[in-house]
Amino acid sequence: MGLRIFLVCAFLWGACGESTSNTDGTGGNAGAGGDAGSGGMAGAGGMAGSAGMAGAGGIAGAGGDAGSGGDNTLVDLDVTPFISGLTKPWDIAWLPNGTVLVTERSGPLNVYVGGVGSTPVTIAPPDLVASGEGGMLGLEVDPDFANNGYVYVCMASNAGTATDVRLVRYELTQNGGAVIERIDIVTGMPYSSGRHSGCRPRFGPDDYLWVGTGDAAIGTTPQADDSLGGKVLRIDRDGIAATDNPSGERWFSKGHRNIQGMAFRASDDLGVSAEHGPSIDDEVNLLLAGNFGWNPVPTNGGPQYNELVPMTDLVAFADAIEAIWSSGSPTLALSGATFIEGSQWGDWDGVLAVATLKAAHLHIYFVSAQGEVTNDFRVIEDQGRLRSPRQGPDGLLYITNDGGGSGGQVLQVSPVLSP
């Protein structure tokens, strides 16, 4: 496929802080900056990352270039309300004509056919189950929407014999104002109390859908090869497994707790996920095939969902894939993720932005092309619990917050660069 992130065949792309420790907390700020790699390594031969990523020491390799300002550059931000009056808005996307789509966790899918100041067209499926952390969650517009009209929504549903989490494919009219057809392309993702429902779909540069799922707080789910919970799925538009998935199944990687962030960087096809930890270790992971080591099974008659095990258990799974960044203690409750790209962002061109719920800020990561986090810090610490950031077609950043009642918003974030 020629994808740069598929570095070798074995290096394929293989989470709400609403765990027990992360649930709806307003405090719990993490240590300053988290664990940035010391020295901010540039690649051999002096290559720095796409945003000029010299680390804390600002040192590029011999003959290489650290970007102007390096990893330590702050960008002034202008934050303004974009859409207000929502109830726990979850995800945001755009149709090719600029129409904005927003999901609310309690439903519906809002389609702002007349612009964001107008009353939206709503898609409210009757089988939606909105309970706990479950409901109408992640949202993705097909990159070929102009030809197929497809929009994908993760939702909890009672349409089957038992409540599950499923990925629904809607075919919409070109302005998004009406549903032509609904097909549930993935069903049976586990649901228990609604806890750890995931669920984030994003198209990768390989033209497959990547879907981060939650383990439903069921101990055996993350390591069970016959379960879609606690996994990263890699599927086609009909929900069928990608033909080259190493597992031979729809899942690409396993051993996850609750993935709510999924992002790809256009400049180099780098893919990452963001995942909620228990009382420690929220994680940012590369999208690699394999086992990420979460295995909360009961031990010695203990609880059926044992959250005292490590997020990445290298004792039980010697080949478990380690995170490129983890929060340690306390957790931040990492949620949605997006890469910010474009020259208008200055030295932030190519950074990873991850929303946090418990810690209530936007976390910025400088990530090299090799997947090394060379610096990280906090911005936007005065807008409450943040759920999902996404870069819009205008190059600006849009963030859903987690406000309940009618207090939920979509925020518009613009860079303010010095002339």
Specify the CATH number for the domain of residue 365: 2.120.10.30
Q: Is residue 300 part of a domain?
A: yes
How many of the other CB atoms lie within 10 Å of CB of 175? 13
Question: Rounded distance, CA 142 to CA 96, Å?
Answer: 10
User: Does the pLDDT of residue 22 top 80, yes or no?
Assistant: no
Q: Is residue 41 part of a domain?
A: no
Q: Is residue 233 part of a domain?
A: yes
Burial 94-130 (b: 16+ CB within 10 A, else e): bbeeebbbbbbbbbbbbbbbeeeeeebbebebeebbb
Q: With cut-offs at 50, 70 and 90, classify the pLDDT of residue 404.
A: confident
User: Does the pLDDT of residue 26 top 50, yes or no?
Assistant: no
Contact 101, 93 (CB under 8 A): yes
Q: Is residue 317 part of a domain?
A: yes
Q: Give one DSSP letter per residue of 271-304, joined into a string.
A: EEEEE--SSS--EEEE--SEE--------TT--S
User: Does the pLDDT of residue 53 top 60, yes or no?
Assistant: no
Closest of 262, 284, 280, 246 to residue 372, by C-alpha: 284
Would you state the pLDDT for residue 304?
86
Q: Is residue 32 part of a domain?
A: no
Q: What is the pTM of this model?
A: 0.84
| Three-state secondary-structure class, residue 145 | helix
Peptide bond into 9 cis (omega under 30): no
Q: Which residue has the higher pLDDT, 233 or 13?
A: 233
Q: With cut-offs at 50, 70 and 90, classify the pLDDT of residue 72.
A: low
Q: Is residue 275 part of a domain?
A: yes
User: Does the pLDDT of residue 66 top 80, yes or no?
Assistant: no
Q: Is residue 64 part of a domain?
A: no
Contact 160, 135 (CB under 8 A): no
User: Does the pLDDT of residue 253 top 50, yes or no?
Assistant: yes
- 300-309 pLDDT, tens per residue? 766 689 999 9
If one counts the domains in the chain, the total is: 1
User: Does the pLDDT of residue 204 top 60, yes or no?
Assistant: yes
Angle at CA 103, nearest 5°, toward 101 and 109?
70
Q: Is residue 345 part of a domain?
A: yes
- Can you say whether the dihedral through the CA atoms of 25, 30, 33, 39 is positive or negative? negative
DSSP letter, residue 258 = B
Q: Which residue has the higher pLDDT, 407 or 10?
A: 407
Query: What residues contact residue 2 under an 8 Å CB cut-off, 6+ apart?
Result: none
Closest of 404, 364, 393, 394 to residue 380, by C-alpha: 364
> Average of pLDDT values for 380-392?
97
Question: Rounded distance, CA 211 to CA 208, Å?
Answer: 10
For 147, the domain range is 70-416
Would you state the pLDDT for residue 419?
66
> Average of pLDDT values for 258-287?
97
Question: Rounded distance, CA 132 to CA 55, Å?
Answer: 40
Would you state the pLDDT for residue 70?
55
Question: Rounded distance, CA 335 to CA 327, Å?
Answer: 13
CA separation (Å) from 196 to 133, 177, 184, 271? 7, 31, 20, 22
Would you state the pLDDT for residue 116?
96
Would you state the pLDDT for residue 73?
75
Would you state the pLDDT for residue 5?
36
Q: Which residue has the higher pLDDT, 34 or 417?
A: 417
